[in-house]
């Protein structure tokens, strides 16, 4: 335990610069959007007090915005506003609106009727009543709304890293992808602390007495603006090209680190979620992205993979990994799962992915079509000899594979199947497997080597020379370390790859990563 | 001074106030009396346009109030609410200064006037810098009164001003209210459901029911010449006390025996009501009080003599 804390501390010290930058970005994002939300929400709240017939519509719309899942809302923003801080701020602003509008509304309505009547009876005008009586008396409630909005924003702002707006989410999502607990905590602890600290500060403001209210009312906007300035909007690219890498790619030896050390590649980089990365490349917000070589969107968005001429990306051959005790319990499982072995190569997998990711066909249909075409499909036996639990990570390819395995098990054995698809990342999937929450899931040799086994650089160099040596190494290690067996590889190699728009790559004459470096160095 | 002419107010289909007319003389104290929901508060609030009438006109100083800008109209009318309506975020001084600030008085004038009122209302000057919630109910109500009086408006509207106070505090404030010279110069319309209060403070009373005025007149007129059973029933409770409050010493003047002035007795003006005079007796043997009329005529009477005169007066009223 002590050692664990030590290493977290070390990690944070080592990454102090990055941590500080992300924290400042996080605070900035939170408060820029909060500022705008106050500027929009307060007048709207006042408006609907005056015109009550509008209150239903306004509160309704703000309420619906609140229910949109944050990642989806960020997704909606991309076609409109591109990537980076703009869509992130707008999305955060939309989340912050409801508490501010609602609390302004209820706060003003909640002012004692006798006090309001006295104000009218003494001959105050509408605006005098608003500024001298209603707003000051509603202030504690309005501050409570701002407080809620702040805490929501600190939380949602972690997702801003997924659309290249920075913030502590970079560590959190990078850490989840990389199975790096220290990295997750280095992002999660500061963001939790921020939430707690801001909540505490605002609760103090909320409880301030009328005597000091005036001072607070003047000091608060100043403080907000100062906090906004923390967000130094990431400098626009100085070179010609902008790269968008996933948080996972950023932290990996076979990712950005390798690109820097082996190729010496220096490119303006922003961190972005793979959910929006391809589209951003297609729409020319990004020029170079870190994708997967079998991704369907490669085909959909007319992207081309740059040749990895110095071999920094290790092979990522997919194969189901199963706990040994499961294989013992269901002896017919191994041959059934191996039915798929060698059946899907890179181009087949890209087409299958294209059908789900771009044509939006259901993974189930794509899986069944494939099995039928390859004469592997059999009708369900409807047996009830125990349940096999299949896991999958949260992207299309894994959904398709999980569906294929589910159909095969139902067709070839008497077992029932339950699927737990969409497990957030390698760490979550692997933990679910070792903790007996699922029985198997499709994993990639490279991921096993780097993210799970966290092999040393020497070993990586040694075993990544070809796909078989990698496979053999992870198979041996998993068996001895975790009692988990790698079954036969399915066939395709879903390795990391750098990709560009086909048209741009052709125009610039870039075919390999070395070409890219040369092009960048010229500038 | 104030003329309310066939004023009605409908809320949807409900006639809250239905064709009410009355006039209030300069410096008169008119009470709108009735049970809750009778329309008395609605009537009051139409006079400073907190509520706009559906029909009818209201004139103050002969001017139709509907032709004036409401904010300007209200700044010239004092208003006291039941729950005082003090601004909780303003200090006592700031609360009192609201109307002067709207009228753009200079600071010194406001401060001087505030100090004057604080003294008249027996409020300590140290209260000026504290907040209303640090004061007792009675003190808050006095501040509310000070706020209404600060700009010395000729008209004062009071909506159940003492309704939220306990009995002891209320009778204390009643006494102060009657003694306050500021108020003697004002035309006051006060709403209350408390018959005793109406009899104690009102020069005239409008008894309302279901949005209409049932009877209006002096307390004695209502008591001894009720127009119908409703009025009679309304005044049935604690009737003897009401009679004592309705009858003034001047009413009994002719019935009291001529007696020379006797020293060392408490003195009352003939305008005082009988209740107050009777309450002053301490029931010592042969105790008397002096009643003075027009500053030169004085009669010295005992408790028994006052009571005898009272019975004679009542008999007389009954046979009229």
Q: Is the ipTM beyond the 0.95 threshold?
A: no
Residues constituting chain B: 320
| CATH class of the region A242-312+498-522 | alpha beta
Q: Which residue has the higher pLDDT, A15 or B135?
A: B135
Going A124 to A130 to A131 to A134, the CA torsion angle's sign is: positive
Task: Tell me if A118 and B75 make a contact (CB, 8 A cut-off).
Answer: no
Instruction: Name the B residues in 44-73 with CB < 8 Å from any A CB.
Output: 48, 50, 70-73
Q: Tokens 């980076």 correspond to what residue?
A: A84
Residue A3 has pLDDT above 50, yes or no: no
Closest Cα in chain A to B83 = A114
Per CB-CB distance under 8 Å, the chain B contacts of A118 are 79, 81, 84-87
Residue A210 has pLDDT above 80, yes or no: no
Per CB-CB distance under 8 Å, the chain A contacts of B86 are 115, 118
Three-state SS string across A109-121, please? Answer: HCCCHHHHHHHHH
Domain limits, chain A:
2-228, 242-312+498-522, 318-494
| Partner residue opposite B99 with nearest CB, options A123, A133, A211 | A123
Average confidence (pLDDT) over B238-248: 87
Residue B260 has pLDDT above 50, yes or no: yes
Check if A136 contacts B (Cβ < 8 Å). Answer: yes
Euclidean distance between the first and final Cα of chain A, in Å? 49
DSSP helix/strand/coil, A499: strand
| Partner residue opposite A117 with nearest CB, options B72, B81, B98 | B81
Alpha carbon distance B237, B193 (integer Å): 13
Q: Hey, what CATH topology would domain A2-228 get?
A: MetI-like fold (1.10.3720)
Alpha carbon distance B293, B297 (integer Å): 5
Alpha carbon distance A328, A323 (integer Å): 9
Least-confidence region, from A29-33, A153-157, B73-77, B260-264: B260-264
Closest Cα in chain B to A116 = B85
Q: Which residue has the higher pLDDT, A6 or B84?
A: B84
**Which of A89, A77, A71 has its CA nearest to residue A228?**
A89
DSSP-derived secondary structure letter, A387: E
Per CB-CB distance under 8 Å, the chain A contacts of B74 are 120-123
Structure tokens at B279: 């309450």
Alpha carbon distance A442, A318 (integer Å): 6
Task: Tell me if B99 and A122 make a contact (CB, 8 A cut-off).
Answer: yes
Instruction: Name the A residues in 395-414 with CB < 8 Å from any B CB.
Output: none
- Is there a contact between A250 and A271 (Cβ–Cβ < 8 Å)? yes
**What phi and psi values does residue B43 have, to the nearest 5 degrees?**
-60, -45
Catalogue the long-range contacts made by A328-334 (C-beta closer than 8 Å, 24 or more residues apart).
A329/A386, A330/A386, A330/A388, A330/A413, A330/A415, A332/A412, A332/A413, A333/A388, A333/A409, A333/A413, A333/A415, A333/A440, A334/A487
Q: Would you place residue A239 in the very low, low, confident or very high pLDDT band (cuts 50, 70, 90)?
A: low
Least-confidence region, from A55-59, A74-78, A294-298, B136-140: A74-78
- Is there a contact between B275 and B244 (Cβ–Cβ < 8 Å)? yes
- Is there a contact between B145 and B161 (Cβ–Cβ < 8 Å)? yes
Run of H or E including A93? helix A85-109
Percent of chain A at pLDDT exceeding 70: 96
Smallest Cα distance from B86 to chain A, Å: 6
Check if A120 contacts B (Cβ < 8 Å). Answer: yes
Smallest Cα distance from B209 to chain A, Å: 25
Q: Residue A303: beta bridge partners? A: A501
Per CB-CB distance under 8 Å, the chain B contacts of A121 are 48, 50, 74, 77, 79, 81, 85, 157
Residue B251 has pLDDT above 60, yes or no: yes
Alpha carbon distance A173, A274 (integer Å): 11
At B177-213, the pLDDT tens digits run: 888 888 888 999 999 999 989 998 999 999 999 999 9
Q: What is the pLDDT of residue A6?
A: 54
Q: Residue A133: beta bridge partners? A: none
E-state strands within A350-404: 387-393
Largest CA distance in chain A: 89
Q: What is the pLDDT of residue B208?
A: 94
Alpha carbon distance B245, B194 (integer Å): 13
Alpha carbon distance A164, A279 (integer Å): 13
Q: What is the pLDDT of residue A231?
A: 67
Run of H or E including A254? none
Alpha carbon distance B197, A331 (integer Å): 97
Q: What is the pLDDT of residue B320?
A: 61
Task: Tell me if B131 and A210 make a contact (CB, 8 A cut-off).
Answer: yes
Question: If you write DSSP's letter for every residue of chain B in order, what string do you get?
Answer: -EEEEEEEEEETTEEEEEEEEEEE-TT-EEEEE--TTSSHHHHHHHHTTSS--SEEEEEETTEEGGGS-HHHHHHTEEEE-TT----TTS-HHHHHTHHHHHTT--HHHHHHHHHHHHHHTT--GGGGGS-GGGS-HHHHHHHHHHHHHTT--SEEEEESTTTTS-HHHHHHHHHHHHH-HHHHTSEEEEEES-HHHHHHH-SEEEEEETTEEEEEE-HHHHHHS-SSHHHHHHT-TTHHHHHHHH-BHHHHGGGSPP----SSS-EEETTSBHHHHHHT----TT-EEEEEETTTEEEEEEHHHHHHHHHHHHHHHHT-
Closest Cα in chain A to B82 = A114
Q: What is the pLDDT of residue B287?
A: 79
Across B272-296, b (16+ Cβ under 10 Å) vs e yields bbbbbbeeeeeeeeeebbbbeeeee
Structure tokens at A494: 């879903």
Interface test with B, best of A108, A114, A123 (most B CBs within 10 A): A123
Residues constituting chain A: 523
Q: Residue A288: beta bridge partners? A: A243, A500
- Is there a contact between A356 and A295 (Cβ–Cβ < 8 Å)? no
DSSP helix/strand/coil, A341: coil
Distances (CA, A) of A94 to A30, A31, A37: 12, 13, 7
Smallest Cα distance from A150 to chain B, Å: 26
Task: Tell me if B81 and A121 make a contact (CB, 8 A cut-off).
Answer: yes
Q: What is the pLDDT of residue A400?
A: 93
Task: Tell me if A121 and B79 make a contact (CB, 8 A cut-off).
Answer: yes
Residue B305 has pLDDT above 70, yes or no: yes
At B7-29, the pLDDT tens digits run: 999 998 889 999 999 999 999 99
Per CB-CB distance under 8 Å, the chain B contacts of A210 are 88-90, 131
Q: At what angle do helices A210-228 and A135-156 cross, to 10 degrees?
A: 30
Interior angle at CA A401, CA A375 and CA A164, nearest 5? 145
Q: How many CB atoms lie within 10 A of CB B206?
A: 26
How many whole angstroms from its chain centre is CA A238? 26
Task: Tell me if A123 and B75 make a contact (CB, 8 A cut-off).
Answer: yes
A·B CB contacts under 8 A: 65
Domain limits, chain B:
2-244, 248-318
**Which of A260, A292, A323, A313 has its CA nearest to residue A479?**
A323
Q: Which residue has the higher pLDDT, A120 or A249?
A: A120
Average confidence (pLDDT) over A413-433: 87
Average confidence (pLDDT) over B72-98: 92
Q: Would you place residue A1 in the very low, low, confident or very high pLDDT band (cuts 50, 70, 90)?
A: very low
Could you say which architecture CATH assigns to the domain B2-244?
Answer: 3-Layer(aba) Sandwich (3.40)
At A318-362, the pLDDT tens digits run: 999 999 999 999 999 999 999 999 899 888 998 898 888 778 889
Average pLDDT, chain B: 89
Per CB-CB distance under 8 Å, the chain B contacts of A127 are none
Residue B75 has pLDDT above 80, yes or no: yes
Average pLDDT, chain A: 86
Structure tokens at A244: 């968008």
Interface test with B, best of A115, A120, A122 (most B CBs within 10 A): A122
Interface test with A, best of B71, B76, B80, B82 (most A CBs within 10 A): B71
Alpha carbon distance A65, A81 (integer Å): 17
Per CB-CB distance under 8 Å, the chain B contacts of A120 are 50, 74
Pick the CATH number of A318-494 from 3.30.360.10, 3.40.50.1820, 3.10.105.10, 3.10.450.50: 3.10.105.10
Average confidence (pLDDT) over A83-105: 89
Q: Would you place residue B272 in the very low, low, confident or very high pLDDT band (cuts 50, 70, 90)?
A: confident
- Is there a contact between B62 and B120 (Cβ–Cβ < 8 Å)? no
Residue B154 has pLDDT above 60, yes or no: yes
Per CB-CB distance under 8 Å, the chain B contacts of A137 are 87-89
Across B114-140, b (16+ Cβ under 10 Å) vs e yields beebbebbebeeebbeebbeebeebbb
At A119-133, the pLDDT tens digits run: 999 999 999 999 999
Residue A177 has pLDDT above 80, yes or no: no
Alpha carbon distance A14, A183 (integer Å): 11
Residue B172 has pLDDT above 50, yes or no: yes
How many whole angstroms from its chain centre is CA A384? 38
Structure tokens at A457: 């650089």
Smallest Cα distance from A125 to chain B, Å: 6
Q: What is the pLDDT of residue B173?
A: 85
Check if A210 contacts B (Cβ < 8 Å). Answer: yes
Q: What is the pLDDT of residue A401?
A: 93
Residue A2 has pLDDT above 50, yes or no: no
Least-confidence region, from A368-382, B93-107, B156-170: B156-170
At A217-232, the pLDDT tens digits run: 777 778 877 777 766 5
Q: What is the pLDDT of residue B107?
A: 93
Q: What is the pLDDT of residue B319?
A: 66
């Amino acid at each position: 335990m002590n050692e664990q804390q030590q290493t977290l501390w070390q990690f944070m010290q080592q990454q102090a610069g990055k941590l500080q930058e992300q924290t400042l970005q996080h605070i900035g994002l939170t408060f820029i959007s909060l500022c705008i939300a106050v500027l929009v929400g307060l007048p709207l709240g006042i408006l609907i007090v005056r015109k009550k017939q509008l209150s239903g519509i306004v509160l309704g719309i703000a309420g619906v915005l609140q229910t949109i899942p944050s990642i989806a809302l960020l997704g909606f923003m991309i076609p409109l506003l591109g990537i980076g801080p703009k869509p992130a701020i707008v999305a955060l602003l939309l989340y912050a609106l409801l508490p501010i509008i609602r609390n302004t509304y209820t706060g003003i309505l909640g002012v004692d009727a006798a006090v309001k009547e006295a104000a009218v009876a003494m001959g105050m005008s509408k605006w005098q009543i608003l500024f001298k009586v209603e707003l000051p008396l509603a202030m504690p409630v309005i501050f409570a709304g701002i407080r809620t909005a702040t805490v929501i924003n600190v939380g949602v702002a972690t997702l801003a890293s997924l659309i290249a707006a920075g913030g502590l989410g970079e560590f959190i999502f990078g850490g989840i992808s990389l199975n790096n607990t220290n990295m997750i905590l280095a992002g999660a602890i500061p963001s939790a602390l921020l939430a707690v600290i801001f909540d505490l500060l605002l609760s103090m403001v909320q409880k301030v007495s009328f005597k000091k209210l005036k001072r607070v009312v003047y000091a608060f906007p100043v403080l907000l603006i100062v906090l906004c300035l923390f967000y130094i909007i990431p400098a626009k690219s100085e070179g010609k090209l902008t790269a968008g890498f996933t948080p996972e790619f950023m932290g990996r030896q076979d990712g950005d680190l390798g690109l820097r050390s082996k190729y010496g590649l220096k490119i303006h980089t922003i961190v972005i979620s793979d959910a929006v990365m391809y589209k951003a490349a297609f729409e020319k917000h990004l020029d170079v992205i870190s994708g997967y070589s079998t991704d369907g969107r490669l085909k959909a968005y007319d992207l081309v993979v740059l040749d990895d001429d110095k071999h920094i990306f290790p092979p990522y051959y997919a194969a189901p990994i199963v706990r040994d005790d499961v294989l013992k319990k269901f002896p017919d499982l191994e041959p059934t799962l191996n039915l798929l072995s060698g059946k899907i190569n890179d181009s087949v997998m890209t087409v299958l992915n294209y059908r789900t990711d771009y044509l939006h066909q259901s993974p189930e249909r794509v899986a069944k079509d494939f099995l039928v075409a390859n004469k592997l499909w059999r009708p369900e036996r409807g047996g009830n000899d125990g349940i096999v639990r299949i896991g999958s990570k949260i992207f299309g390819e894994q959904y398709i594979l999980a569906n294929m395995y589910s159909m095969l098990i139902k067709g070839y054995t008497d077992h029932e199947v339950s699927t737990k698809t969409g497990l957030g990342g390698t760490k979550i999937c692997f933990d679910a497997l070792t903790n007996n929450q699922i029985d198997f899931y499709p994993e990639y040799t490279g991921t096993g080597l780097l993210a799970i086994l966290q092999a040393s650089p020497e070993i990586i160099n040694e075993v990544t020379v070809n796909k078989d040596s990698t496979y053999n190494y992870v198979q041996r290690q998993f068996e001895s370390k975790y009692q988990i067996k790698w079954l036969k590889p399915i066939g395709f190699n879903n390795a990391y790859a750098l990709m560009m728009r086909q048209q741009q790559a052709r125009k610039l004459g870039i075919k390999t990563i070395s070409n890219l470096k040369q092009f960048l160095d010229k500038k | 001074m104030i003329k309310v002419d066939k004023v009605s107010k409908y809320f949807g289909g409900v006639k809250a106030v239905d064709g009410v007319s009355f006039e209030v003389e300069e410096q008169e104290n008119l009470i709108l009396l009735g049970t809750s929901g009778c329309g008395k508060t609605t009537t009051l609030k139409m006079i400073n346009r907190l509520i706009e009438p559906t029909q009818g006109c209201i004139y103050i100083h002969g001017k139709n109030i509907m032709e004036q800008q409401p904010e300007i109209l209200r700044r010239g009318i004092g208003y006291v609410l039941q729950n005082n309506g003090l601004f909780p975020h303003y200090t006592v001084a700031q609360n009192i200064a609201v109307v002067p600030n709207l009228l753009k008085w200079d600071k010194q004038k406001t401060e001087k006037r505030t100090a004057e009122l604080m003294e008249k209302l027996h409020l300590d000057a140290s209260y000026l810098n504290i907040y209303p919630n640090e004061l007792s109910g009675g003190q808050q109500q006095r501040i509310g009164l000070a706020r209404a009086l600060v700009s010395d408006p000729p008209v004062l509207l009071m909506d159940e001003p003492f309704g939220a106070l306990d009995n002891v505090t209320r009778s204390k404030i009643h006494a102060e209210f009657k003694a306050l010279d500021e108020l003697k110069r004002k035309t006051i319309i006060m709403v209350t459901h408390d018959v005793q209060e109406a009899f104690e403070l009102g020069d005239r009373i409008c008894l309302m029911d279901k949005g209409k005025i049932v009877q209006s007149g002096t307390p004695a007129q209502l008591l001894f010449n009720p127009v119908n059973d409703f009025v009679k029933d309304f005044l049935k409770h604690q009737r003897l006390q009401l009679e004592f409050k309705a009858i003034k010493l001047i009413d009994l003047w002719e019935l009291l025996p001529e007696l020379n002035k006797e020293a060392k007795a408490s003195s009352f003006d003939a305008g005082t009501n009988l209740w107050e005079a009777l309450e002053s007796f301490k029931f010592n043997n042969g105790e008397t009080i002096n009643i003075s009329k027009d500053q030169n005529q004085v009669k010295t009477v005992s408790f028994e003599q006052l009571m005898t005169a009272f019975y004679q007066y009542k008999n007389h009223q009954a046979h009229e």
